[in-house]
Chain A
Amino acid sequence: MNDNAGLRVRMRRAAPFVLDVEFEAPAGAITALFGPSGSGKTTVLRTIAGLQPMDEARVSSGQSVWTDTAAHTWLPAHRRPVGFVFQDYALFPHLTVRQQLELALGHRPPEQRPGRVASLLQLVQLDGLADRRPAALSGGQQQRAALARALARDPAVLLLDEPFAAVDWALRESLRRELVSLQRALSLTVVLVTHDFEDVAKLASHLVVLERGAVTAAGTVEALTARNAVPGIAGWREPAVAFDARVMAHWAERQLTVIAAGDLQLEVPTIAAPVGAPVRIQLGAREVILASRRPEGLSLHNVIEARVVAVEPAAHEALRLVHLEVGATRLLSLVTADAARSLHLEPGAPVLALIKAVAVEAFA
């Protein structure tokens, strides 16, 4: 179902608002299109799906070209192997969940469809609700039904338009978990449109920042957050790094879990994930204290030997943003300019990073 081909996107338009975007969404990964409303994210997604014309565009998935205005190539939307989850889910009000899935399975021979429906429903945990119409489903169930319908297409790429915007916080968190585990299990290529950085930090491995129709930053989430290169959307964004780690061990009696990313090992409050499982870590620069000597008698679990990479001015003139390196993993620490002076923080200098276990946000 997945030819393991990434998506290449390039588009340009002059009106009604300027759009000039080029990026690549690697195969088997979640790429976030992050930007404020009106930045053109949804337009990009709709153009990928073939739902919207574009002055100048080229969209290709692996070897197959879906749009190439220069060569007058335009694959109609219904022939593109694309799964689209709309912000309002766009379920068909007159069809049951089963009928919606069967409708999206038109590319498969009829005898395969019932089996596919059953396995898709199981995949999104909707078994038992197959014969309900959308109006009889809760918000979370509607979102799962929309996801199952998008997956029914056996898509080369799954397009998600603000998929969590319409649900409350608690549900959002569990739906994010389900999406991540589905994505990993099926190694889906996903393009996710969002204005919520939590979606980026928890779900995406790649990030394209879109502002006023132009790409202002692109790269891996880990690299961009480590460089503090992600702009705040609708306000200020606290510097924080996001990176992938693995569960190394559980210390049940101490209710701690050890996670590791390269040479960086952190003790964090118990994570409900097996040893070896991937876990996404977020760590705010405010949460990292720097020291020159190993402290004692503190409620502290993590004393990490790091090296200063750079000391940068921060948003406040009395503060400094210190870039740290632990092996290949980067951390950020926000300290006062006074502390930076007294600790002699200079590029290359060794330093101890003190990190409270509770300050580490782990998403598994």
Chain B
Amino acid sequence: MDWTALGLSLRLGVVTVVLLLPVAFVLARWLAFSRFRGRGFVEALVALPLILPPTVVGFYLLVAFGRGSPVGAAFESLVGHPLVFSFEGLVLASLLVNLPFAVQPMQNALAAIPPSVRDAARCCGLSPMAAVRRIELPLALPGIATAAVLTFAHTLGEFGVVLMVGGSIPGETRTVAIAIYDRVQAFDEPAAATMALVLLVLAVAALGITNTLARRAARRD
């Protein structure tokens, strides 16, 4: 059992969730409530990581974050080490890959709020920001929780993109998913089995939590 890898995976999951949810909420709200030309295109763009092979996503991120790219060069001059094959690079990749898992549940939850309820918030004297805080956020809470659980679980399980962008540097980029592959390659089946079981339990727990939240959301109407 590679505890360092598990710790890294959990850290990556938490950092991804904490950084991604606020950004994804703003994006989800924009997609749920605004009518503009090109909305379908933006939605497709957000959903892209769902259907693209992870290696393809990883390849493009590798190119975009590489030492020769503007993003990679800017990062390296600021921080002092390359973005690719680092934890920071992994986080950035994880944020982009998880966008659909974070945006879609929140977008659905927000779109389910009747327009009259949002109007009523304004007519009750709530400013747009107060309406977000006191009406939209609480009503979208099941969607937000689902987004968090899905993002966390998916981050733990991501393999292709992590391998492409991060490689397998112990303590820096070697996540549990990578470590399992690594152990199998080394014919260390018991270690692989233990770690696989940990991921299985986490996945089942995640599904259980999302289902409970979805049921609770349905019951309130």
Contacts and interface: CB of A to CB of B under 8 A. Distances in A.
A295 to B, nearest CB: 56
Interface stretch (B35-43, B61-69, B79-87, B117-125): B117-125
B134 interface: yes
B1 to A, nearest CB: 43
Contacts of A91: 117, 120
A207 B183 CA distance: 81
A153 B117 contact: no
A51 B138 contact: no
A107 B139 CA distance: 23
A180 interface: no
B123 A82 contact: yes
A103 B134 contact: yes
**Interface range, A side:** 20 to 34
A80 B123 CA distance: 8
A133 B220 CA distance: 9
Contacts of A77: 119, 122-123
Interface string B119-156: 11111111110110011001100000000000000000
Contacts of A49: 119, 122-123
Given A78-B122, A104-B124, A87 B139 contact: no
Contacts of B116: 86-88, 90
Contacts of B127: 76, 78
Contacts of B135: 92
Interface string A31-53: 00000000000000010011100
A107 B125 contact: yes
B134 to A, nearest CB: 7
A189 to B, nearest CB: 16
B119 A93 contact: no
Interface in A79-130: 79-80, 82-84, 86-88, 90-94, 100, 103-104, 106-107
Nearest to B127: A78
Interface residues of B, number: 21
A344 B139 CA distance: 70
A167 interface: no
B144 to A, nearest CB: 13
Interface string A4-42: 000000000000000000000000000000000000000
A133 B51 CA distance: 41
A133 B221 CA distance: 10
Interface in A132-166: 133, 135, 149-150, 152-153
B138 A84 contact: no
Interface string A174-201: 0000000000000000000000000000
A78 B134 CA distance: 14
Given A78-B127, A103-B134, A135-B221, A90 B122 contact: no
A74 to B, nearest CB: 13
B117, B125, B126, B130 — most chain A CB neighbours (10 Å): B125
A93 B139 CA distance: 8
Contacts of B124: 78, 100, 103-104, 106, 149, 152-153
A69 B216 CA distance: 45
Interface string B27-63: 0000000000000000000000000000000000000
A313 to B, nearest CB: 45
B117 A90 contact: yes
Contact of A106 (B126, B220, B221): B126
A90 B125 contact: no
Contacts of A92: 117, 120-121, 135, 139
Nearest to B131: A78
A46 B134 CA distance: 22
A103 B138 contact: no
A338 B120 CA distance: 57
B122 to A, nearest CB: 4
B125 A104 contact: yes
Contacts of B125: 78-79, 104, 106-107, 153
Contact of A51 (B123, B131, B220): B123
B122 A51 contact: yes
Given A91-B120, A107-B125, 10 more contacts: A46-B119, A88-B116, A90-B116, A90-B117, A93-B117, A104-B125, A106-B124, A135-B220, A149-B124, A153-B124
Interchain residue pairs A-B with the least CB separation, the first 7? A90-B116, A90-B120, A77-B122, A84-B123, A104-B124, A86-B116, A106-B125
